[in-house]
Amino acid sequence: MPPVIPLAATDVHRPWQQARHGRRAQALYPAIEPHASGFLEVAGGHTLYWETCGNPAGTPVLFLHGGPGGGCTASSRRWFDPQRYRIVLFDQRGCGRSRPLAGIAENTTEHLIEDIEVLRRHCGIERWLLFGGSWGATLALAYGQRHPARVRAMILRGVFAGTQPELDWLYREGASKLFPEAWEHFRQFIPAPLHDDLIAAYHARLNCGDAPEELRAARAWCAWEDALTTLLPQPGEHGDAQQLALARIECHYFRQRSFLDEGQLLAQAHLLRGIPAVIVQGRYDLVTPPATAWQLARAWPQADLQIAPDAGHASSEPGNLRRLLLACDRYADGQ
């Protein structure tokens, strides 16, 4: 397997560390606007928002947002050099500007894989780079294993394979030992007799038909996730509609183990062989602990696993951000 490279904060000498104009990878690229956008009708009554930015003749890259249930933002465009990349973004089913918002009917991993193919054909792209963190990494892996010929390379962060042990860490016992006060708040929303299966209990409340109760459940769900996301505490920035979409869709997917067979993404890692990748993993990631990224890299010879010793889960943390930007510059010319 390739070496694990804990890139130090002072390590600024990699040949792909600087973009063409000598820019050091310390901050996102400047804000840009789409040059094309629209909506795609897909199977199951969903309509997806999509947009493209940057250089129409550049290296195609697809940004896969997290969650599931998150959505793209203006900052999602800014990971990539707009002079060198053709940047494609879309809001997954039920997310962001896609409709119906928070819709979970006909919303599975299989649907999302097909949606990506619909979008690829719509954009006239043969092969593209995949960029995704957390759930975005899950979806990138699932799509790449299904359509490896369509993938130039991957840049992944905070790998989540959708396994039962990963869900148990988050919603049974594991992270709860490190954040007992946040865990108690999360668990107290659910009556004690239902504590054995908090995902199922939250799913019932997030889909109960009582709008105020659904929103209270969404806030409690998101507060637990926010507590774990960064190494140093940062306030969450979700509006009510965003919180409901994120909580309802996450709970929907997690109740079904992301609509994947147990261990599927790790067992089928051999299907990715030949696809180059950078995996950025925060050492203190409490949402997606490093063990999964380590297992994936061991089974994927072309994956360059980089452990950030000063980061948790969020892409915005300096250790993760720097490595992700360097990886984007590394693959900008289709390398």
Our measurement of the distance from residue 53's CA atom to the centroid of its chain's CA atoms, rounded to an integer in Å, reads 20
Per residue in 9-47, pLDDT tens? Answer: 333 333 333 433 444 457 999 999 999 999 999 999 999
Q: What percent of the chain has pLDDT over 70?
A: 90
Q: pLDDT grade, residue 155 (50/70/90)?
A: very high
Please choose, from the candidates 331, 303, 324, the residue with its C-alpha nearest in 3D space to the C-alpha of residue 133. 324
% the chain with pLDDT above 90: 88
Closest CA to 67 of 219, 283, 287: 287
State mean pLDDT over 163-181. 98
Structure confidence at residue 236 (pLDDT): 59
* pTM score, whole prediction: 0.92
pLDDT for position 239: 86
- For residue 322, the one-letter residue type is R
Q: What pairing do the DSSP bridges indicate for beta strands 85-90 and 46-54? A: antiparallel
Residue 163 in tokens: 């396994």
In whole angstroms, how far apart are CA 211 and each of 11, 217, 218?
Answer: 51, 10, 10
Count CB atoms within 10 A of the CB of residue 151. 22
Q: Which two tokens stand for residue 275?
A: 């696809």
Listed residue (320, 333, 272, 327) closest to 304, CA to CA: 327
Q: Dihedral of CA 314/318/323/325: which sign?
A: positive
| Distance, CA of 296 to CA of 280 (rounded, Å) | 12
**Higher pLDDT residue, 249 or 21?**
249
Please give the pLDDT value at position 279. 98
> In this predicted model, what pLDDT tens digit does every residue of 282-319 receive, in sequence order?
999 999 999 999 999 999 999 999 999 999 999 999 99
The stretches of the chain forming alpha helices (DSSP H) are 109-123, 135-146, 164-171, 175-178, 180-188, 198-206, 211-229, 240-255, 264-267, 290-298, 318-330
Q: Summarize pLDDT for 222-247 with one digit per residue, the tens.
A: 999 999 999 877 665 678 999 999 99
Residue 333: the pLDDT is: 82
Is pLDDT of 61 > 90? yes
**pLDDT given at position 26:** 76
Q: Looking at domain 36-161+261-330, what is its CATH homologous superfamily?
A: Alpha/Beta hydrolase fold, catalytic domain (3.40.50.1820)
Task: Give catalytic residue positions.
Answer: 134, 285, 313
CA distance 100 to 94: 6
| pLDDT at residue 335, as a whole number | 59
ω into 100 cis (within 30 of 0): yes
Structure tokens at 24: 């050091």
Instruction: Write the burial class of residue 298 (CB in 10 Å: 0-12 exposed, 13-18 middle, 19+ buried).
Output: middle
Query: Taking the CA of residue 326 as centre, how many other CA atoms within 13 Å lie in the half-sphere pointing to its CB?
Result: 23
Return the pLDDT at 237: 65
* Domain boundaries of the chain, sorted by first residue: 36-161+261-330, 164-258
Chain-centroid distance, C-alpha 219: 20
Lowest-pLDDT choice from 1-5, 187-191, 208-212: 1-5
pLDDT per position as a tens digit, 279-289 = 999 999 999 99
**Could you tell me if 308 and 319 are in contact, meaning their C-beta atoms sit under 8 angstroms apart?**
yes
Distance between CA atoms of 90 and 232, rounded to whole angstroms?
Answer: 30
- Write out the two tokens for 136: 């975005």
Work out the average pLDDT over 59-82: 97
Q: What is the pLDDT of residue 23?
A: 46
Q: Which residues pair with 37 in a beta bridge?
A: 51
Average pLDDT of the chain is 92
CB 306 within 8 A of CB 279: yes
